[in-house]
Amino acid sequence: MSLWSRTLFLAPLLSLFWGCHATSSTSTFTYVNGSEPESLDPAIITGQPEMRLVSALFEGLTARNKKGEIEPGVAESWKISADLKTIRFTLRHARWSNGDPITASDFLQSWERALNPLMASKYAELLYPIKNAENYNKGKIDQFDSVGVRVIDPQTLEVELENPTPFFLDLCSMPTLYPVHFASLKSEGRNWIKPGKLISNGAYTLKDWKIDDRVILQKNPHYWRASQVQIQEIAALTTSSATTAFNLFYSGKADLIMDKGLIPTLMIEPLRKKPYFHSNPFLATYFYRFNVTRKPFNHPKVRKAFALAIHKQQIVEKITRAGEPIAHSLTPPGVRHYTPPEGLPRNIALAQKLLAEAGYPNGKGFPPVSILYNSSELNQQIAVEIQSMWKEALGVHVTLQNQEWKVYLGSLDQLDFDIARSSWVGDYNDANTFLDCFVTGRGNNRTGWSHPIYDQLMAQSATEQNTEKRSEILQSAERILIEQEFPIVPIYHFVGMSLYHSEKLGGFEANVVDDHPLRELYLIEASQK
Amino acid sequence: MIPFIFRRLILMLLTLFTVVSLTFLLMRLAPGNPFSADRKIPPSILQELESKYGLSGTIGEQYLSYLKDVIRGDLRISTKYRDWSVNEILAQTLPVSMALGSVAFCLTLLFGIILGSFAALYQGQWQDRSLMLVALLGISIPSYILAPLFILFFGLHLGWLSVAGFGNADQWILPVLCLSLPFSASVARLVRTSLLEVLTQDFIRTARAKGLDESKIIIRHALRVALLPVVSYAGPLAANLLTGSMVVEQIFKIPGMGPFFINSVLNRDLFVVGGIVLVFSLILMSLNLFVDLLYTLLDRRIKLS
């Protein structure tokens, strides 16, 4: 605080109004976390800002490290059966933040809670690979006993899967599968999650939570590897404004921004040259959907023509400008055990030919269609660009339609659109998280598209035990999606972006899941430099 | 006076009832579901969520059960921030907005009245013209332009003041200025016009003829009457400032109620919207009542009936 501001006559009066909290002390690390967390309950959260906090507060059977890899968490080790359908986890002697031991039944109860239809967990489907979990969640069976989770003894948990699921250990590191402390849940009721009440098992405990201001985490001394956790206190600032986030970082009030949405789009280009700008490939794709239940996009040739006429390079160079790779496939490169198909390059001549074959030579007689997007500057710029590409290459004029977020989601669900902007962020490092969306009837399909061979291949991939063969099956499925049928057109893959001074902050590594656990971070003191 | 207040209170209750009912119905009729998300929610879970939040059944049933809860003082749980009740959200954010708003309010009146009177006394001279030009600028420059300019200059360029946040004294100055400057300008123009009119009236001439001190005439006699329009302006102004500004609170990252106003509508978080609208109308109506009472104190000719 400057002397000038101190001497202002209002200052002493003002400070009476509100207790001061220190924003920067040497032992506190401050970062901008994003919008106000919707909840800190592991069973119901879905967003990135919530996940960052919850994975510092809690820990599952497995955990992600700074490289984005899966490592043992509360489970010390696990044994997978020969048919790959049963996993037996051995738990370490870990403790809750109040000193209670963590047992296998904590996991069983917590998973039961997350799957309980009354909980209405939006991410419950992450537990569906477990035998009968889906039936229980959908209310088809009442007894949790038939769900494939068993407590063998306090330190041993056995999970029976519906099918071999190569990414199940990844899922174990996700919040929906974290344990919660049942005793406090019972005694505190709805307030169990509040600061001072929350009993957690992760590297940090919840010290304070001020709505729309900040969440303060304090190191948990009972955490099983507390000795490796270096930062004593973390302040996670709340703001959904990229400009404010950047101002805080730039003026030294925040040490880290690790969310591309919190970096002002207009500043990305100049920022890329700064030493504190860091980026990494990220498992997420920006794409367009076609509504295949309506004319004219019920015709695969029309969809293909539209897909082939997009100049993707121009979009990443002119609009997004953060070094995004253009997308030929829905699954981004870098997904574990999988190489996405090459896709089809831009080909205007072929696109024109296909459109003519579909009955619209040079776009003549093409019905009026529009691109639907949720209101945002970036979405609009891209839509305008694509609109002019289609006009130029195909002679088709599409109109633009923007809707407010919730209205846009409703339009997608009711298939009330022609073409719609979309994106998908991988939940875990496996091609399944992308390709499963387009199986017939999946909630996230949102195109009306259905293809028996695609569905069959996806089902086959779920039971295939050989990694290479599974990759081939998934590849053939993806070829149908992005080389033959085109219910969607991938446009570009996102990159993860972060701002921090690497001479001051350590433990932060680029990784494809764009997950940077807070427990791994450490401050580099001036004396150590 | 007592029957007047009593009648107004009854009217306030009726208005509150209408406001709450309209808000609920409009929010429910607007397209978009409070629980929809990026990722599609299975219909069974959506149903469960809706019944959990009292949003299942016909719209009439939903409305009646909501109304019952509101009457009991339970504004329900936010559909977006599921760990917090609306009462808790308001209890945390409203005091912040009110603290900031009350300082801005006092400053607005202080600046506005002093500058407005000054301009009126120097009517037509350079002091008056330059002040009114500044006031015009103040009214014309919206806070979403003023705030970033202030941040750029005082926060980033000079490094004197905090760019965002709330708590320390240096974090109060810029948001309070951004909140009060545009309104100060309006108040100054209001005071100037009104004071000029009052100064031509007979009772001022009489006061001067009596040989009263000019400063006494202005402060004790003229301003007292000239401030009446400011008083009626101050009611809605205070309600506006006390409940928080969407723009200023967002830009300066102040944990007040302002940003919830708009965001909750976008999130279809109908209970938070309901709660905010309720609080806002309550504050607005109470202040209007207060202003009417204040009138009688400033001008004895006004009788409440």
Residue A171's CATH number:
3.90.76.10
pLDDT, tens only, A60-109: 999 999 999 999 999 999 999 999 999 999 999 999 999 999 999 999 99
A121 and B CB contact within 8 Å: yes
CA distance linking residue B19 with residue B283, whole number of Å? 13
pLDDT band of residue A460 (cuts 50, 70, 90) is: very high
Is A379 a residue whose pLDDT tops 50? yes
Cα–Cα nearest to A70, from A470, A435, A511, A434: A511
Ramachandran bin of B59, using left for φ above 0, alpha for ψ from -120 to 50, beta for the remaining angles:
alpha
Question: Which residues of chain A are within 8 Å of residue B110 when distances are taken between CB atoms?
Answer: none
CA distance to A177, A429, B40, B199, per residue, from A171 (Å):
7, 10, 19, 78
Q: Are residues A252 and A162 in the same domain?
A: no
For residue A17, tell me if it sits in a domain. no
Q: What is the ipTM of this complex?
A: 0.87
Cβ neighbours of residue B261 closer than 8 Å, sequence gap 6 or more = B243, B244, B246, B276
Which residues span the domain enclosing A523?
A: 27-33+202-279+497-528
Pairing of strands A28-34, A419-425: unpaired
Q: Are residues A329 and A180 in the same domain?
A: no
CA distance to A14, A343, B162, B163, per residue, from B150 (Å):
19, 50, 10, 9
Is B167–A413 a contact, with Cβ atoms under 8 angstroms apart? no
B233-245 mean pLDDT: 86
For residue A217, tell me if it sits in a domain. yes
Say how far residue B177 (Cα) sits from the centre of its chain.
15
CA distance linking residue B21 with residue B35, whole number of Å? 21
Question: Which residues of chain B are within 8 Å of residue A1 when distances are taken between CB atoms?
Answer: 168-170
Query: For A251, which of B82, B155, B260 is closest by C-beta distance?
Result: B155
A140 and B CB contact within 8 Å: no
Cα–Cα nearest to A336, from A129, A130, A518, A70: A70
Q: For residue B24, which phi and psi values (nearest 5 degrees)?
A: -60, -50
Cβ neighbours of residue A511 closer than 8 Å, sequence gap 6 or more = A66, A67, A68, A69, A280
Is A213–B162 a contact, with Cβ atoms under 8 angstroms apart? no
CA distance to A271, A405, B154, per residue, from A243 (Å):
13, 21, 16
Is A7 a residue whose pLDDT tops 70? no
A397 and B CB contact within 8 Å: no
pLDDT band of residue A46 (cuts 50, 70, 90) is: confident
Residue pair A490/A316 in contact (Cβ under 8 Å)? The answer is no
Q: Are residues A135 and A226 in the same domain?
A: no
Q: Are residues A394 and A311 in the same domain?
A: yes
Residue pair B120/B218 in contact (Cβ under 8 Å)? The answer is no
Cβ neighbours of residue B22 closer than 8 Å, sequence gap 6 or more = none
For residue A389, tell me if it sits in a domain. yes
Residue with tokens 């700074």: A66
Is A117–B33 a contact, with Cβ atoms under 8 angstroms apart? no
Question: Among A9-23, A364-378, A383-397, A445-459, where is mean pLDDT lowest?
Answer: A9-23
- For residue A175, how many other CB atoms are within 10 A of its CB? 23
Q: Are residues A328 and A475 in the same domain?
A: yes
Confidence at residue A20, expressed as pLDDT on a 0 to 100 scale: 36
Confidence at residue A50, expressed as pLDDT on a 0 to 100 scale: 94
Model pTM? 0.88
A9-29 mean pLDDT: 43
What three-state secondary structure class fits A207? strand
B63 and A CB contact within 8 Å: no
pLDDT band of residue A5 (cuts 50, 70, 90) is: very low
Pairing of strands A277-290, A62-64: unpaired
Size of interface A-B (CB pairs under 8 A): 174
Pairing of strands A70-72, A62-64: antiparallel
Ramachandran bin of B124, using left for φ above 0, alpha for ψ from -120 to 50, beta for the remaining angles:
left
Q: For residue A450, which phi and psi values (nearest 5 degrees)?
A: -145, 130
For residue A194, tell me if it sits in a domain. no
Per-window interface: B 189-228 vs A, CB < 8 A? none
Is A218 a residue whose pLDDT tops 50? yes
Query: For B44, which of A40, A117, A237 is closest by C-beta distance?
Result: A117
pLDDT, tens only, B122-179: 988 999 999 999 888 888 888 889 999 999 999 888 888 888 888 888 889 999 999 9
For residue A16, tell me if it sits in a domain. no
CA distance linking residue B219 with residue B224, whole number of Å? 7
pLDDT, tens only, A262-294: 998 888 889 999 999 999 989 999 999 999 999
pLDDT, tens only, A168-184: 999 999 999 999 999 99
CA distance to A173, B3, B9, B294, per residue, from B303 (Å):
71, 13, 18, 11
Is A10–B267 a contact, with Cβ atoms under 8 angstroms apart? no
How far B175 CA sits from the closest chain A CA (Å)?
12
CA distance to A99, B203, B237, per residue, from B223 (Å):
68, 13, 20
pLDDT, tens only, B185-210: 999 999 999 999 998 889 888 988 88
A17-42 mean pLDDT: 71
Per-window interface: A 317-356 vs B, CB < 8 A? none
How far B72 CA sits from the closest chain A CA (Å)?
19
CA distance linking residue A409 with residue B32, whole number of Å? 7
Is the model more confident about B243 or about A352?
Answer: A352
For residue A313, tell me if it sits in a domain. yes
Per-window interface: B 235-294 vs A, CB < 8 A? 250-253, 255-256, 259-260, 266-268
pLDDT, tens only, A423-441: 999 988 999 999 999 999 8
Confidence at residue B123, expressed as pLDDT on a 0 to 100 scale: 87
pLDDT, tens only, B25-34: 999 998 888 8
Q: For residue A274, which phi and psi values (nearest 5 degrees)?
A: -80, 150
DSSP state, residue B41: P
* DSSP track, A276-302: TEEEEEEEEEEEEEE-TTSTTTTSHHH
Nearest residue of B to residue A190, measured between CA atoms: B83
pLDDT band of residue B228 (cuts 50, 70, 90) is: confident
- B126-140 and B170-199 helices, crossing angle to 10°: 130
Say how far residue B280 (Cα) sits from the centre of its chain.
8
What three-state secondary structure class fits B55? coil
Torsion, CA B178, CA B182, CA B185, CA B187, rounded to 10:
-100
Q: Are residues A183 and A220 in the same domain?
A: no
A395-406 mean pLDDT: 92
Query: For B45, which of A2, A122, A413 is closest by C-beta distance?
Result: A122
Residue pair B38/A446 in contact (Cβ under 8 Å)? The answer is no
Confidence at residue A260, expressed as pLDDT on a 0 to 100 scale: 86
Nearest residue of B to residue A444, measured between CA atoms: B40
Quick one: which H or E segment has residue B268?
none
Question: Among A488-502, B99-113, B254-268, where is mean pLDDT lowest?
Answer: B254-268
CA distance linking residue A403 with residue A415, whole number of Å? 14
Percentage of residues of chain A with pLDDT beyond 90: 79
Residue pair A407/A413 in contact (Cβ under 8 Å)? The answer is no
Q: Angle at CA A114, nearest 5°, toward A109 and A119?
A: 115
Q: Are residues A293 and A371 in the same domain?
A: yes
Is A237–B168 a contact, with Cβ atoms under 8 angstroms apart? no
pLDDT band of residue B304 (cuts 50, 70, 90) is: low
Query: For A251, which of B39, B163, B266 is closest by C-beta distance?
Result: B163
How far A196 CA sits from the closest chain B CA (Å)?
14
Residue with tokens 């469960």: B48
Is A113 a residue whose pLDDT tops 70? yes
Residue pair B290/B304 in contact (Cβ under 8 Å)? The answer is no
Spell out where A375-470 has E strands.
Answer: 398-403, 419-425
Q: Are residues A333 and A422 in the same domain?
A: yes
Q: Are residues A510 and A362 in the same domain?
A: no
Confidence at residue B305, expressed as pLDDT on a 0 to 100 scale: 60
Q: Are residues A240 and A295 in the same domain?
A: no
B40 and A CB contact within 8 Å: yes
Q: Are residues A475 and A515 in the same domain?
A: no
Question: Which residues of chain A are within 8 Å of residue B251 when distances are taken between CB atoms?
Answer: 241, 243-244
Burial class (CB in 10 A: 0-12, 13-18, 19+), A490: buried
Residue pair A28/A234 in contact (Cβ under 8 Å)? The answer is yes
For residue A517, tell me if it sits in a domain. yes
For residue A391, tell me if it sits in a domain. yes
Q: What is the mean pLDDT of chain A?
A: 91
Confidence at residue A16, expressed as pLDDT on a 0 to 100 scale: 33
Confidence at residue B276, expressed as pLDDT on a 0 to 100 scale: 93
Question: Among A58-67, A209-218, A338-347, B245-254, where is mean pLDDT lowest?
Answer: B245-254
Is A122–B37 a contact, with Cβ atoms under 8 angstroms apart? yes
Confidence at residue B115, expressed as pLDDT on a 0 to 100 scale: 93
Q: Are residues A423 and A469 in the same domain?
A: yes
Confidence at residue B68, expressed as pLDDT on a 0 to 100 scale: 94
User: Looking at the 3D structure of chain A, how many domains does it have?
Assistant: 3
pLDDT band of residue A13 (cuts 50, 70, 90) is: very low
A21 and B CB contact within 8 Å: yes
User: Residue A319 has which token pair?
Assistant: 């609009």
- For residue A519, how many other CB atoms are within 10 A of its CB? 26
A266 and B CB contact within 8 Å: no
Per-window interface: A 424-463 vs B, CB < 8 A? 442-444, 446
CATH number at residue A474: 3.10.105.10
Per-window interface: B 75-94 vs A, CB < 8 A? 77, 80-84, 88-89, 92-93
